[in-house]
C-alpha cells in the first residue's frame, strides 16, 4: 500500500471524528463528564483507528532501515502522530476529549502538509542511548505543550463566548472555565518538566548526541526562549496566581517559540537546500 494512502485514510478518519465531536458539542445540554456520551465515544474510537493508521504511516516514512528520518515531513507526521496518541491516552483519564474539536483538524493539516512537502531523507548515524533518549523526551515535550496550546486556544474562545454569550450551546458543552484553567496548567507543568529534561540532555550530552560540543544555534536559542516563557508563566502562577487570558497568551507564546525553533528553522533550511 502506498504511504500516501495511509495518510489519506488517517485524514478521512480524523475528519469523521471531527464531525462527530462538533455534533456532540452542538447537541450536549450540560457540561458534565462526557465519558458516557455515545457520540464522543464513537469519535474517540474512530480517531483511535486513525491514530493506528497514522502511526503506521509515520513508521513507514520515518524509518529508513534502523535509522530515523529527520526530514521535515517525516518529523511532522511523527510528532503529530505522537501528539494524537498522547491526547487519546490522556482522554481516558482527563477531561480533554472535547479538545478533539481542535486536535483532529490540526492533525489533518499536518498530514496534508506532509503529502505536498517534497524533501530529502535526512539520517543521523548515531544510535547511542543518549541520542535515542534525547529524541524521545523532546517529542514528548513538544506533544504535551502542543496539547496545552490547543487547550489555551479553546479556553480563550470559551472566555470570549461567556462575555458575548453568542453561542450558549458551546458554553454548555465545555467544562467550567476553572476546570479548563486547571487542566491548562497541568499540561504546561508536565510539558515544562520534560522540556527542561530535553534542554539539559541536549546540552550535557551534546558530544554524544550531535558529535560536537554544545553551541548556541537558532533553534537552540528559540527553544531556550520558549523555556523561559513557560518558566515565567509557572512562576507567576505560583507567586501571583496568574490566570485567565494572560496565562493563555504566555502559553501560546512559549509554544510558538518552540514551534518556530524546530519547524520554522527546518522549513527555511530545507527550502534553501531544495533550491
Same domain, 128 and 78: no
Inform me whether the pLDDT recorded for 268 exceeds 50. no
Same domain, 71 and 142: no
What local confidence, expressed as pLDDT, does residue 213 receive? 53
Same domain, 163 and 271: yes
The total number of structural domains in the chain stands at 2
Higher model confidence: residue 184 or residue 71? Answer: 184
Same domain, 117 and 43: yes
What local confidence, expressed as pLDDT, does residue 35 receive? 47
Lowest mean pLDDT among 49-58, 154-163, 177-186: 154-163
Inform me whether the pLDDT recorded for 105 exceeds 80. yes
Query: What is the arithmetic mean of pLDDT over 143-172?
Result: 78
What local confidence, expressed as pLDDT, does residue 272 receive? 41
Inform me whether the pLDDT recorded for 201 exceeds 90. no
Domain with 48 in it = 1-123
Query: Cα dist. 81→62, 84, 139 in Å?
Result: 11, 5, 10
Same domain, 77 and 157: no
Where does a domain end: 68, 95, 123? 123
Task: Say how far apart CA 146 and CA 139 lie, in whole Å.
Answer: 10
Do 209 and 201 meet the contact criterion of CB atoms below 8 Å apart? yes
* SS3 at position 96: coil
Do 182 and 94 meet the contact criterion of CB atoms below 8 Å apart? no
- pLDDT-derived band at 12, boundaries 50, 70, 90: very high
Same domain, 18 and 146: no
How does pLDDT run across 234-267, given as a tens digit for each residue? Answer: 999 999 888 888 899 999 999 998 888 766 444 4
Same domain, 62 and 142: no
Where does a domain end: 90, 108, 123? 123
Where does a domain end: 70, 97, 123? 123
Q: Which three cell numbers stand for residue 29?
A: 445540554
What phi-psi label fits residue 120: left (phi over 0), alpha (psi between -120 and 50 degrees) or beta? beta
Same domain, 134 and 95: no
The torsion defined by the Cα of 12, 109, 105 and 94, in degrees rounded to 10, comes to 110
The torsion defined by the Cα of 51, 53, 57 and 63, in degrees rounded to 10, comes to 80
Q: Which three cell numbers stand for residue 167?
A: 453561542
Higher model confidence: residue 79 or residue 63? Answer: 79
Same domain, 130 and 262: yes
Query: What is the arithmetic mean of pLDDT over 197-203?
Result: 81
Higher model confidence: residue 160 or residue 268? Answer: 160
Same domain, 60 and 25: yes
Same domain, 68 and 87: yes
Higher model confidence: residue 226 or residue 265? Answer: 226
Higher model confidence: residue 56 or residue 161? Answer: 56
What local confidence, expressed as pLDDT, does residue 126 receive? 57
Same domain, 98 and 146: no
Would you give the DSSP letter of residue 2? -
How does pLDDT run across 24-40, given as a tens digit for each residue? Answer: 887 765 555 454 467 78
What local confidence, expressed as pLDDT, does residue 92 receive? 86
What local confidence, expressed as pLDDT, does residue 30 receive? 52
Inform me whether the pLDDT recorded for 196 exceeds 80. yes
Which helix (DSSP H) or strand (DSSP E) does residue 159 occupy? Answer: helix 129-164
How does pLDDT run across 164-195, given as a tens digit for each residue? Answer: 766 665 666 667 778 788 888 998 999 999 99
Task: Say how far apart CA 61 and CA 5 lie, in whole Å.
Answer: 12
Inform me whether the pLDDT recorded for 271 exceeds 60. no
Amino acid at each position: 500500500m502506498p504511504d500516501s494512502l495511509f495518510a489519506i485514510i488517517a485524514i478521512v478518519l480524523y475528519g469523521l471524528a471531527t464531525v462527530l465531536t462538533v455534533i456532540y458539542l452542538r447537541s450536549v445540554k450540560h457540561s458534565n463528564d462526557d465519558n458516557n456520551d455515545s457520540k464522543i465515544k464513537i469519535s474517540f474510537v474512530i480517531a483511535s483507528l486513525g491514530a493506528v493508521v497514522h502511526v503506521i504511516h509515520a513508521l513507514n516514512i520515518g524509518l529508513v532501515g534502523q535509522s530515523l528520518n529527520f526530514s521535515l515531513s517525516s518529523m511532522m507526521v511523527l510528532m503529530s502522530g505522537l501528539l494524537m496518541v498522547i491526547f487519546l491516552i490522556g482522554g481516558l483519564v482527563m477531561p480533554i476529549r472535547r479538545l478533539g474539536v481542535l486536535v483532529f483538524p490540526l492533525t489533518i493539516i499536518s498530514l496534508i502538509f506532509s503529502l505536498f512537502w517534497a524533501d530529502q531523507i535526512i539520517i543521523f548515524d548515531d544510535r547511542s542511548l543518549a541520542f535515542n533518549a534525547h529524541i524521545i523526551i523532546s517529542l514528548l515535550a513538544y506533544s504535551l505543550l502542543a496539547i496545552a496550546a490547543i487547550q489555551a486556544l479553546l479556553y480563550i474562545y470559551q472566555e470570549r463566548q461567556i462575555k458575548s454569550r453568542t453561542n450558549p450551546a458551546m458554553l454548555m458543552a465545555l467544562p467550567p472555565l476553572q476546570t479548563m484553567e486547571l487542566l491548562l496548567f497541568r499540561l504546561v507543568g508536565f510539558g515544562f518538566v520534560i522540556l527542561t529534561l530535553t534542554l539539559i540532555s541536549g546540552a550535557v550530552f551534546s558530544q554524544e548526541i550531535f558529535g560536537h560540543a554544545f553551541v548556541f544555534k537558532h533553534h537552540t536559542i528559540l527553544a531556550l526562549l520558549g523555556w523561559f516563557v513557560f518558566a515565567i508563566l509557572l512562576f507567576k502562577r505560583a507567586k501571583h496566581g496568574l490566570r485567565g487570558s494572560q496565562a493563555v497568551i504566555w502559553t501560546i507564546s512559549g509554544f510558538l517559540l518552540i514551534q518556530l525553533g524546530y519547524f520554522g528553522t527546518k522549513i527555511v533550511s530545507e527550502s534553501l537546500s531544495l533550491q
